Structure 1
């Protein structure tokens, strides 16, 4: 279970230097935080010279603190005409500041106006203080900050990236020994790229020994301010001990990708790849985007809560927060999204669940802008109707029209996208360093080094995946006409959901009919939807009978789900190669599996496409580009399309 996140306490010494009462240590030298960052971390790592004329450069920092090192690195990148094309800055922090305290700290210690402007941008984008990995983007995505909130001993081993430079910036080893433990340096060595450099203000003997034991060469140089010495150096192991090399970009002749499917999954991928300069060919069997489940009039979005902060809770939390960021970025760029405002209310199934979840939320200490437990009377004030139970309020949850999101993402991708509709893909075949995408007659539709399957039910079949247990779920929505039911103040979900749309219509649903291929509306489906919402909203009891239900409008769509109800996101396995090597791979881990070069999947999103699509697209783009992953590696492995093959190998059932 994830530990609660405890924010930092802002305090100052008499000389105005910010310090941590928890560790009784200062955040930076009294001589000045900006100057210390420049001397110790940038100059100590040979920056900006080392990133010049490179496509990608990644900095990994231990201890984000006030973010001064990030701000100075960002400023140096902006000022460098030969800067790298994309700068990734990854940092860990056990006790992050609140936005208010962060701004107060900057007001006290940052006097340079150019840095102040960057500090304001960082504070404006500052994430909710919940555990996990948070991805923030600046400069149109060319500068990316990935923050891992949590204990460094737990977060650092879950990161997956290739570091070019390390900023070792925890509190002093005597004050915060966990930050300088042998396990930390072992994790750093696992992530170090060839020739990766490091710098740190400390020169303690234990730190020097840990560096040497993990393959780093160091030298002692003059320290900053009143400090006599500091360390800097580089990764130069005398022997290879890593089981897996850190991620690297996919080797391609041309940065051209084919995305099959133009629903929520496919459009998110198109936007994320185009943002990195890829040429994308979009193939869609229908005549327009968002024609299947993504064509529903609205969908609700919210994180999933559990009393043990399960894998599903952690993944939906990451996806929810990242989706909000991406949608806001689209809106700021002038792209229109049709969405509701004011939050979302989730009702408990019964009083016992309400009580247990309220206890769990209090234990996790989530901030109120993430979720709040609400009593029944308060919930009724929010909803504007009588409710069956109390529940939880998500201030940033709500509803959105998926088609408007897809259209915005395609528009944001611009002219780098070739859109081809009415194209039915039958299979793909390897041809040299590329993939041929073929139709039913065996004719080549397009060739590219990268193909991504974002076409739900058809993905596993076209990709020829045997170990991909997906099923179809029929979902029927019901539209209650204007004036037929009292208006809700916000979406209410529970056993079902009720969403107030702008035209006065209330959307309810959806049925969950496994392996039911019926495409037409069914009266029984309408009645099922009505029965569920009347259990949630007693005011609506007897509002409709069977005769009325026959006249109701609605929509049928088919969701694709896996047996574990998690999506399939990431690189596809080379199943044939794995089967041939089944005995050796019986004890394999995900990174041991052979992969089909350039093939990826983004499907089986079920009813959570709005929450998962953007994060899934960012994860796949990062895997292709060799960038830091946007979520913890263990979570990415829970989404890995090869996870079912891996289970079969471990169980010895692959022959």
Structure 2
């Protein structure tokens, strides 16, 4: 696994000189004082011959642009505009850009107001603009245009990126102002991600830049610069080939219609795949079937792969929900923040450090007095309605049928309980712990954790509650005039039968941590109307299993052709599944991935086989 160390992100410190943003740290403007749009088009779009190359793309073809300095997003927005004006209607554009010090949302809004002709794309960017947290952030500017923002040092970010790039915008503050970026190591990463025919363009003509790029494999040319600048550089990896062209949209079978299956199916369908969802019990009938679930995370100052997944999946889920306009109304839930009450000094210290270090910026986490913090943008919703909403798509078909076996190959195959077989280009198992009942998959390191939630009758006082509350358990505002109080956490009970004892445990925990709300709910007279038992599926290291299914044979590193897993989301299913769904969909469709290689490794199902082999060989980390 990659061992890159991530650090909190510091936003840009700007000096607004009229309507021109200037970076104080680099004493350089973000775009030309003369004409920012004209310079960007001249240098980056025309320097990479993008209008011509976009116009010659074929249906379904993918074009990837890489950029070394996002800044105000001007270059990316202009590339997106050019793509929509010149590319055929079924082509796709993926923009990938790095930024060490992202602008705040307020500053970004001010900067983009400078260009009303880009308003439509700029508004899409502002709507999805991510918080200042390290790593990759996937945004959608248009149904055919994705933007992946990489927050951090350019060289580090690109070293964790794997997809080939077709054109480079080598942008950033001038080499004299920002020498740390314009280094041979960055040029080498650009060359690694390039292929024959990949081009680059940059506003600078500095000799050491030209020589460094030449040494990395680019054939460089000096061209007339824009405006008062004498020269600029363009380059190309020789022996050109066309942009990447994934195969026609694959057919996919998704097994399971809970949160993991519904998000996976939707992510694939939006990429043009024909998806069949198979589940003998229908939509959201197991752990995804509770009346309410909470969209939340567990903030930490320590940016380990596990904690970065919790952070990145949280903001990613919020973008998904906003994009899908869900919740549609209060009957679906609300995204108005989640209050996390400190249950002990250790948790208080953990969240305080997350705030004070900047690992979790105020756009995601704010203090709520001395005894709680609020997860900004989180909330509660009905998981079953969310699943139904996601599965309502023309490219998705749902079948109530049981899968008894899966087989790798091209195509991949499922065997059904009626003895028939079905084939698809890919199969994704979103079947939680039931995955281990399939032949050959008993080795998966999964555990079941029983949880019982209590549905309590709302009172006159409790009907005024607006925000979900997390403590040792959780408490949601009323849906159907019922509050969810839960949930027990029992590793040693496999009974599906509800129990009065578990109800009392839920209420005792509520009384202990939130006594005022316990009283408003009725205190000793709380009316428990119903309850529900479900089993959380969790891995041994608390991260989901998301990626190709490895084969537990003599060659455990060989992925099973066409078979993928998306499971073991534990109690964070609403939060974690959208990011994992995009990861699975991009793996299948051969698009740039939404997470960096460190998180790809951390989520890969084969990590447990690798660890087992190392343990058996006596290797210790």
Alignment match, 2:386 = 405
Alignment match, 1:195 = 197
- Give TM-score scaled by structure 1 length: 0.87
Rounded to whole Å, the distance in 2 between the matches of 1:197 and 1:336 is: 50
- Does 2:615 align with 1:651? yes
- Does 2:132 align with 1:129? yes
SS at match of 1:163: coil
Instruction: Provide Cα deviations, 1:570-596, integer angstroms capped at 9, x if missing partner.
Output: 1112332515xxxxxxxxxxxxx3211
Rounded to whole Å, the distance in 2 between the matches of 1:21 and 1:547 is: 60
CA contact (8 A) 1:497 1:509 kept: yes
CA contact (8 A) 1:153 1:178 kept: no
Rounded to whole Å, the distance in 2 between the matches of 1:576 and 1:556 is: 36
Alignment match, 2:57 = 53
CA contact (8 A) 2:456 2:528 kept: no
Alignment match, 1:475 = 451
CA contact (8 A) 2:170 2:201 kept: yes
Alignment match, 2:538 = 561
Instruction: Provide Cα deviations, 1:468-493, integer angstroms capped at 9, x if missing partner.
Output: 20011111111121229845442111
Instruction: Provide Cα deviations, 1:320-348, integer angstroms capped at 9, x if missing partner.
Output: 11111111222289799811243110011
Of 383, 392, 397, 1:418 maps to 397
Instruction: Provide Cα deviations, 1:306-365, integer angstroms capped at 9, x if missing partner.
Output: 232332321122111111111122228979981124311001122454245324412216
Rounded to whole Å, the distance in 2 between the matches of 1:323 and 1:551 is: 31
Return closer, same or farther for 1:250/1:608 CA change in 2, 3 Å cut-off.
Answer: farther
- Equivalent residues in 2 for 1:31-46, closer than 5 Å: 31-46=34-49
- Give TM-score scaled by structure 2 length: 0.91
Rounded to whole Å, the distance in 2 between the matches of 1:216 and 1:41 is: 16
- Equivalent residues in 2 for 1:60-79, closer than 5 Å: 60-79=66-85
Alignment match, 1:207 = 209
SS at match of 2:148: strand
CA contact (8 A) 1:467 1:642 kept: no
Alignment match, 1:588 = none
Alignment match, 1:357 = 351
Instruction: Provide Cα deviations, 1:511-569, integer angstroms capped at 9, x if missing partner.
Output: 11225321111122112211211111123669999997996521011111111111011
Alignment match, 2:506 = 529
Alignment match, 1:99 = 105
CA contact (8 A) 1:248 1:625 kept: no
Moved more, 501-510 or 606-615: 501-510
- Does 2:570 align with 1:606? yes
Return closer, same or farther for 1:435/1:4 CA change in 2, 3 Å cut-off.
Answer: closer
CA RMSD in angstroms, aligned pairs only: 2.8
SS at match of 2:83: helix
| Deviation (angstroms), 1:462 | 2.3
Rounded to whole Å, the distance in 1 between the matches of 2:610 and 2:244 is: 23
Of 147, 154, 172, 1:145 maps to 147
- Does 2:211 align with 1:217? no
Instruction: Provide Cα deviations, 1:604-653, integer angstroms capped at 9, x if missing partner.
Output: 11111101111111011111122111111101211111110121233345
Rounded to whole Å, the distance in 2 between the matches of 1:344 and 1:568 is: 26
Of 310, 316, 340, 1:316 maps to 310
Of 395, 399, 424, 1:448 maps to 424
- Does 2:6 align with 1:11? no
Of 243, 264, 270, 1:269 maps to 264
Which aligned runs of 4 or more in structure 1 are off by greater than 4 angstroms?
247-251, 332-337, 484-487, 540-552
Rounded to whole Å, the distance in 2 between the matches of 1:375 and 1:334 is: 31
SS at match of 2:133: coil
| Deviation (angstroms), 1:158 | 1.9
Greater fraction helix: 1
CA contact (8 A) 1:336 1:408 kept: no
Instruction: Provide Cα deviations, 1:52-110, integer angstroms capped at 9, x if missing partner.
Output: 324211101000011110111111011115366111001011111122212222334x2
CA contact (8 A) 1:455 1:603 kept: yes
- Does 2:281 align with 1:305? no
Alignment match, 1:279 = 274
Rounded to whole Å, the distance in 1 between the matches of 2:380 and 2:491 is: 25
Return closer, same or farther for 1:418/1:594 CA change in 2, 3 Å cut-off.
Answer: same
Q: Which runs of 5+ in 1 are unaligned?
A: 239-246, 377-389, 580-592
SS at match of 2:380: strand
- Does 2:373 align with 1:392? yes
Instruction: Provide Cα deviations, 1:198-238, integer angstroms capped at 9, x if missing partner.
Output: 11111222212321222222111111212222111122499
- Does 2:136 align with 1:172? no
Alignment match, 1:385 = none
Return closer, same or farther for 1:72/1:341 CA change in 2, 3 Å cut-off.
Answer: closer
CA contact (8 A) 1:471 1:515 kept: no
Return closer, same or farther for 1:547/1:518 CA change in 2, 3 Å cut-off.
Answer: farther
Rounded to whole Å, the distance in 2 between the matches of 1:94 and 1:50 is: 29
Instruction: Provide Cα deviations, 1:1-57, integer angstroms capped at 9, x if missing partner.
Output: 64232222333457x643222101222333311111111111111112223324211
Aligned length: 608
| Deviation (angstroms), 1:262 | 0.5
- Does 2:156 align with 1:154? yes
Rounded to whole Å, the distance in 2 between the matches of 1:420 and 1:218 is: 56
Rounded to whole Å, the distance in 2 between the matches of 1:359 and 1:596 is: 42
CA contact (8 A) 2:293 2:381 kept: yes
Rounded to whole Å, the distance in 1 between the matches of 2:344 and 2:245 is: 50
